[in-house]
Amino acid sequence: MSKRKEQLLDEIRQVLARSIKERYLGLMDTRGDAIGEVRDINAAQERIAASRYGICIDCCGPIGYQRLKAYPSAKRSLICQQQREKTRAPSKYTDH
């Protein structure tokens, strides 16, 4: 009986360890998303200060009003963003 109890306790420890690890990683993903969003906002503020807000960083063309309305920190026109997403591996952080 003692042997079975030890096996069960080991299983419980493993489940708890996985649960804690998954929860921790989930928090890190959320924090990473928030950090990425803050970076995007800071970059948009820098573009505003430099009178470059609303201008695509790739083609230097205008970023459409509807795109900026939906995603105010967008740094690329819709076409350039779609092209980037096709040619780049998906990132952990959204690259809008």
Structural domain boundaries in the chain: 2-87
CATH 1.20.120.910 fits 2-87, yes or no: yes
pLDDT value of residue 15: 82
Question: Can you give the pLDDT at residue 31?
Answer: 61
Residue 60 is classified by DSSP as: -
pLDDT score of 1: 60
- The reported pLDDT for the residue numbered 38 is 84
Q: Are 94 and 36 spatial neighbours (Cβ–Cβ below 8 Å)? A: yes
The pTM for the full model equals: 0.58
d(CA 3, CA 43): 59
Q: Which residues of the chain have pLDDT under 50?
A: none
Structure-token pair, residue 6: 């030890």
Measured CA to CA, the distance from residue 64 to residue 14 in angstroms comes to 51
Residues 6+ apart with CB under 8 A from 36: 93, 94
φ, ψ dihedrals at 55, nearest 5°? -115, 125
